[in-house]
Amino acid sequence: MNWKHVKLIFSRELRDQLRDRRTLFTITILPILLYPLMGMLMLQVAQFSREHPVQIKILGSENIPESPRLVDGEQLYSRVGIESIAPLVKISSSALPELDNEKLQTQATEMLNKGDQDLIVIFKPRFREYMDQLAQTQVGEMVEGDLLDESDRGLEVILTRSRDQSQIAYNRWQIAIEAWQQEWIATKLKGAGFDPRLVRPLHIAPVDVAPEATRRAIVWSKILPFIMLIWALTGAFYPAVDLCAGEKERGTLETLLSSPARRREIVWGKLLTVIFFSCMTALLNLGSMQFTASLLSNQLAAGGARGLAESLGTPPIYAIGWLTLALIPMASLFSALALAVAALARSTKEGQYYLMPLLLMMLPFVMIPMLPGIELSLGTSLMPVTGMVLLSRALVEGQYLEAVRYLPIVAVVTITCCLLAIRWAVRQFESESVMFRENERWDLRMWITSIWRERDFTASVMEAMLCGAIILVVKFFASLASTEPISDFAGLSKAVLIGQLALILTPTLLMAIMLTKSVRTSLRVNAPKPIDFAVCILLAIAFHPLAMWFSTAVTTVYPLSPAMIEATSGITKTIIDTPLWMILLTLAVLPAFCEEVAFRGFIFGGLIRQNGVLRAILVSALFFGLTHGVLQQSISASFMGMLLGWVAWRTGGIVCTIAMHLIHNSLSILLSRAATSETSPAWLDLFVTFEKGGFHYDASWTTVSIVLSIACLWILYVRSSDSIVANESRTVDRPLTD
């Protein structure tokens, strides 16, 4: 790659973007103006953050005991525990009307609906008598009558949850009446000769040893990474749209593509430009927020919102430094994704429509670190974007040991994602059908007619993606509809038949019939060479220990919850109690056939077109994994799906992958049943160790399996027919068997 060309393209695109008023407004003027305007708005509305008094109406004030005092004129009687809320409660008292309970509640409801009162408290007629009688009770005695019957000697609180003030009034009343009850009990204990401290023997005062700067850093560590990444993505997308769709509209893209620069060099030049604007947008937003927050904090404290000012404070300067380091790889990832997506757009208007789907796809990864209890660990560090956000949080909060421990994992995951995104962007620019798509009006009838008229022997890339999306959507709604746990073979077989035949196989066959010329070709049903088939059988047996080891590692990193273990216990018991042939047919044969036809057949055949081998292997494995529902199973299935996808590519069909899938499932079932059986074959002890109802392969056999798996993969790689690979990777216009 000629870096002089990259530098030249970068300089050209940078100058063009700096002349664009929209770009300058997005990355400079908007951040500078946004946060000061937000600060002015916060100062204007800070008065609403103050605590306002609530109005409480007491009916039956004559029924309140005189000692201890509850009400002092128009306020609560100030006592220990309510000093802060007593001034915030306004009391209005009146005698209890001579009405029945239903009419009394109706009258109270009318007062609440008018808004004159926030809470109505009704002291029943015999409340004072009941409390006096309770106070005179000796130790070991009971008050006459049913203590649970408080229809005429208790108190009733009426509120409306449709108003926040009513809910606030109720909360303050709860604090006040609880403090009054404790004082009443202490008074009676003292009169009976007991120590009043029996009411509340302990007074626990927490001592926060964290410095004030650290407390502020913890608050900002959850806010700043979110804002930084959102603005980095936003700052990357608009320049990317202009550099792709904008040049298509201006007619300058053809001139650039016809220059001596290679497509890869053009992508890198544009990518560096987008990264520059992405970083500048995020940094200017962080800097503007830092400056505004430092000025706003003192103003809020002086204006009466001291609690808000103390809880937020000013973002630490060192936090901006750590976030800047994390910004560079994140901006590179977002810029590559934005460039690849923007290349699909035929106009600037169409490109802007792609921003929301891309933002929604990235948003969960940014939002997960903000959930309570989510910390940097081995499991979270393996998640793209999420790991980097949590690493930034750890650095901002001063947890340097944790950050250093997981830094290599986060770095590897982030760099891998960046390289894949850049590769995708390069592939987009190398595709003539993507770069030179023309604007056209969409008509439903013409679209349906063109689909039927332009059918090929295999599905297109979009049809394959649509098939995978349909399977995932129907599986999702089916999982919500079936809430009953599986406890017997009838329930298990019903779930498997519906999941495999109705939700996976049926959509695949319908799309193969309607959208392709040859069902057999689109499903990639080709007879493999006998020796390739034999090697795949050996590979399935040899690879099983590695798959089990990977599955165990996944459950170690992402442990199963107790609820999930309990939910799957019925399936495990069913597998053990049901005849072997029925379980193998249900859980081995049927899934192997249906899933391979769908994922390594129709979907893989569409994705591999236009030299999309890597795309077909990864995307089909992802679809395959997501259909398994449970996170741990999805990760393990995706790992196995990549192997099956590679085998499907090298062997030219799904016959070998069906056999491998069948053997893998059968071995798992057989070993699971043997682990719970008292009469398992003795020769299994040479390979497998059984313990606590489970099993794991011995280290010696695992080592042998690694060697055998590598040998089998090498044989398939060497023996694969070049004609099959060539036919797989191009746009198919005739059956592979011709």
Could you report the per-residue pLDDT of 247-268, keeping only the tens digit for each? 888 878 777 878 788 888 888 8
Residues 263-279, mean pLDDT to the nearest whole number: 89
Residues 206-226, mean pLDDT to the nearest whole number: 66
Distance CA 600, CA 614 (A): 13
For residue 732, the model assigns a pLDDT of 44
| pLDDT of 679 strictly over 70 | no
| pLDDT of 694 strictly over 80 | no
Name the residue with higher pLDDT: 154 or 144.
154
Bond before 206 cis per omega within 30 degrees: no
- Determine which of 79-88, 108-117, 514-523, 727-736 has the lowest per-residue pLDDT on average: 727-736
Neighbouring C-beta atoms of residue 55, cutoff 10 Å: 18
Pair of tokens at residue 46:
């800070």
For residue 649, name the pLDDT band (cuts at 50, 70, 90). very high
Distance CA 687, CA 671 (A): 11
For residue 211, the model assigns a pLDDT of 59
Residues 87-106, mean pLDDT to the nearest whole number: 82
For residue 443, name the pLDDT band (cuts at 50, 70, 90). low
Q: What is the DSSP letter of 436?
A: T
For residue 737, the model assigns a pLDDT of 37
Instruction: Write out the H or E segment, with its range, that includes residue 89.
Output: strand 89-94
Fill in the amino acid letter for 112. Answer: L
Over residues 571-588, the pLDDT tens digits come to: 878 888 888 889 999 999
| pLDDT of 568 strictly over 80 | no
Residues 443-458, mean pLDDT to the nearest whole number: 70
| CATH code, residues 49-138+147-198 | 3.40.190
Over residues 347-390, the pLDDT tens digits come to: 777 777 777 788 788 888 888 887 777 888 888 888 888 888 88
Instruction: Write out the H or E segment, with its range, that includes residue 342.
Output: helix 317-342
- Determine which of 423-432, 672-681, 709-718 has the lowest per-residue pLDDT on average: 672-681
Phi, psi of 506 (to 5 degrees): -60, -50
For residue 731, the model assigns a pLDDT of 41
Over residues 523-560, the pLDDT tens digits come to: 999 888 889 999 999 999 999 999 989 988 888 888 87
Distance CA 705, CA 550 (A): 14
Name the residue with higher pLDDT: 328 or 136.
328
Distance CA 619, CA 645 (A): 10
For residue 39, name the pLDDT band (cuts at 50, 70, 90). low
For residue 736, name the pLDDT band (cuts at 50, 70, 90). very low
Neighbouring C-beta atoms of residue 650, cutoff 10 Å: 22
**CA 688 from chain center: how many Å?**
37
Nearest Cα neighbor of 657 from 666, 642, 645 is 645
Distance CA 368, CA 546 (A): 30
pTM, entire model:
0.70
Name the residue with higher pLDDT: 110 or 196.
110
For residue 643, name the pLDDT band (cuts at 50, 70, 90). very high
Distance CA 440, CA 725 (A): 35
User: Do 340 and 267 form a contact (C-beta atoms < 8 A)?
Assistant: no
Pair of tokens at residue 606:
């569409």
Pair of tokens at residue 245:
């769709």
162-201 per-residue burial string, b: 16 or more CB within 10 A, e: under 16: eeebbbbbbebbebbbebbebbbbbebeeeeeeeeeebee
Over residues 468-506, the pLDDT tens digits come to: 999 999 988 888 776 677 778 888 888 889 989 999 999
Domain boundaries defined on the chain: 3-38+210-435, 49-138+147-198, 456-729
Give residue for tokens 């990235």: 362
- DSSP secondary structure letters along 638-649: HHHHHHHHHHHH
Residues 6+ apart with CB under 8 A from 52: 88, 165
Residues 17-45, mean pLDDT to the nearest whole number: 70
| pLDDT averaged over every residue in the chain | 80
| pLDDT of 621 strictly over 70 | yes
| pLDDT of 210 strictly over 70 | no
